[in-house]
Each structure stands twice: as C-alpha cells, then as structure tokens.
Structure 1
Amino acid sequence: MSTMSDTPVLDTLAAMTMDSIERCGMSEDMLILTRIAALVASDAPSISYLAHLGPAVEANVTASQLQDVLVAIAPIVGTARVMSAAGHIAEAMGVAIAVADAALQEQLDSGTR
C-alpha cells in the first residue's frame, strides 16, 4: 500500500523516470535525446519538453544535437509532428527562461532590502 501524497501523479511520473534511468545503459545525453524523440513521436505538449530541459542541460545536450534528432526522425514521424515539436520546445524554453529571470529578479530584490 502506498503513502498518501499531495502530488500523486507527479510522484508516480518521477518514480517511473528514475526506474527507467536506473535500468537504462545509455549515456545521459543519449537518454535525453531518445526521450525527446519519443516526445516528438507522441506529439507531446510543451510541459513535457519543459520537464526535460534541465536534464538536457545537465547532460550537455547541445542545440545542434537536438536539431540532428529532429532531422533524423522527420521522415518517420512526419513534418507536422516535427514542426509541432519545434514550437513546443520553443515554448518550453521561453517558460524556462521566464522562470529563471523571475528567480534572478527575486534574488536581486531580496539582496537590496
């Protein structure tokens, strides 16, 4: 029996992700790129890409590598999914930048008080 949580869905997703990482023999960058390819194939929303931005940065995934994945899978998943993914990725990056800017501004504001 599991313990109650305020975020059971998020907790389940995090546990599934950790289990997948522990059982996978891929390098961190390859794992993230593979997950991004799967997100494209499933026409995932922006929030799904946002959840992978931090791990992608930590794994030193480059924009060039991301573009290569989109180019590689385009013939399989189709141009509509790739273009949709590009928009979702851009939106996720915009959210990540806005959150980082807000956090930085909060730090600056608290430092001047």
Structure 2
Amino acid sequence: MTTMSETPVLDTLAAMTIDSIERCQMDENMLILTRIAALAAMDAPAISYLAHIGPAVEANVTANQLQDVLVAVAPIVGTARVMSAAGHIAEALGIAIAVADAEVQAQVQGGMGK
C-alpha cells in the first residue's frame, strides 16, 4: 500500500516519468526531443513544456534542435499545432525566466538582510 501525499497527481506523474526513462534506451537529448514532438502533436499547454525545460537544459538540447523537431513534425501535425507549440514553448520559457529572476531577487534581498 502506498502512503498518502499532499501532491498525489504530481507524484504519479513523476513516477511515470521515472519508469519511462528507466525503460527507454534513448539518450537524454533524444528522449527530450521526442517528448517535445509528442507535446506538439497533442497541442499541449505551456505548463507541459515548462516541465521539460530543466531536463532539456541538462540534456544539452539546443534551440536549433528544438526548431528542427518542430520542422520535422509540421507535415504530420500541421501548421496550427506547430505554431501553437512554438507559442507555448515561448510562454514556458518566459515563466521559467520569471521564476529564475524572482529566485535571484529573493537571494539578493536575503543577502542584504544579513
């Protein structure tokens, strides 16, 4: 029996992701690019892309690789989904930058209080 958590949905998603990674033979870079392609195909919201920013950075995914994935899937998923994906990716990056800026500001303000 599992223990109760305050974040059961996030815990389940994390467990599914870990299981998927453990069973997959792709390198980290290819895995993230494949997931980005799937998100584009599903017209996923920005929050879904946001969850992949950290792993993408860790896997050294480049902007050119990301663009190549969107170009590659465009004939399959269509222009509207690719443009939507590009917008959601930009939104996710904006959120990630805002969060990072807020963390830096908090650290600076915390350091000034010492």
Normalising by structure 1, what TM-score?
0.99
In the TM superposition, what is the alpha-carbon distance from 1:28 to its structure 2 partner?
0.3
Query: SS of 1:26's equivalent?
Result: coil
Q: Deviations over 1:10-63 (max 9, x none)?
A: 000000000000000001000000000000001100000000000000000000
- Structure-2 residue corresponding to 1:6: 6
| Structure 2: stretches of 5+ with no match in the other structure | none
- Structure-1 residue corresponding to 2:58: 58
Normalising by structure 2, what TM-score?
0.98
Distance 1:111 1:9 in 2: 35
Aligned residue type for 1:72: A
Identity score, percent: 81
Distance 1:100 1:32 in 2: 21
Distance 1:36 1:14 in 2: 17
**Count of aligned pairs between the two proteins:** 113
- Structure-1 residue corresponding to 2:83: 83
Aligned residue type for 2:31: L
Distance 2:41 2:2 in 1: 32
Distance 2:32 2:80 in 1: 22
Aligned residue type for 2:72: A
Distance 1:25 1:12 in 2: 22
Matched, 1:104 2:79: no
Distance 1:11 1:111 in 2: 33
Distance 1:2 1:75 in 2: 44
| Structure 1: stretches of 5+ with no match in the other structure | none
RMSD between superposed Cα atoms in Å: 0.4
